[in-house]
Amino acid sequence: MPLEGRHDQFFPSNVSQKLVELIENNADELTNNWLKDIKQNTKTPTYQSYNEKELYQRAFRVYSQLGKWISRDTSKEEIKSYWTSLGIKRREEKFPLSEIVLAIALVRRHLWQKIQSEGLLDSAYDLFQAMELYNRVTVFFDRAIYFTVLGYES
């Protein structure tokens, strides 16, 4: 669920706020693009045979709640708890670790492709302001991957 009207307390930059809203408001499109990619990617055969509706829900949860995930109000412990549990669940579902890491990386890739395709970063000033968001998103996805692997290996 998007955090409409609340981004200003998390992101001092109007550009960051607009980009988070862009992602959350286009979560369905992003999820469908990710799903198409993951289903066709030769490096993700386990995902290809997995329930499409469940895969959709998993990716949609990340895109539609991006503001929450990268918010300063979301603690590292909350991220650790969610993604460690996810790693444990994926291991129980017999997903290879390499496919899980690639799936998360593809979520991030589709996110940035959407931002670039919208042309919201036309000026050097916009790019500079967007670096704050880029850094927060990168840290979030790095933590998500790390804690997923940690859960998987536990």
What string of pLDDT tens digits covers the 154 residues of the chain? 443 444 444 444 565 677 788 888 999 999 999 999 999 999 999 999 999 999 999 999 999 988 888 887 888 999 999 999 999 999 999 999 999 999 999 999 999 888 778 766 666 666 666 777 788 889 999 999 999 999 999 9
Rg for the chain, CA atoms, rounded = 15
Note the CATH number of domain 8-153: 1.10.490.10
| Nearest alpha-carbon partner for 130 in 154, 114, 143 | 114
- Whether the model clears a pTM of 0.85, i.e. scores above it, the answer is no
Q: What CA–CA distance (Å, rounded) separates 15 from 151?
A: 34
Structure tokens at 11: 């992101």
CB-based contact 76:19 (threshold 8 Å): no
CB-based contact 24:16 (threshold 8 Å): no
Structure tokens at 20: 């988070």
Please report the sign of the dihedral spanned by the C-alpha atoms of residue 13, residue 75, residue 147, residue 35: negative
Q: Where are the beta strands (DSSP E) in the chain?
A: none
Q: What CA–CA distance (Å, rounded) separates 153 from 133?
A: 30
CB-based contact 7:126 (threshold 8 Å): no
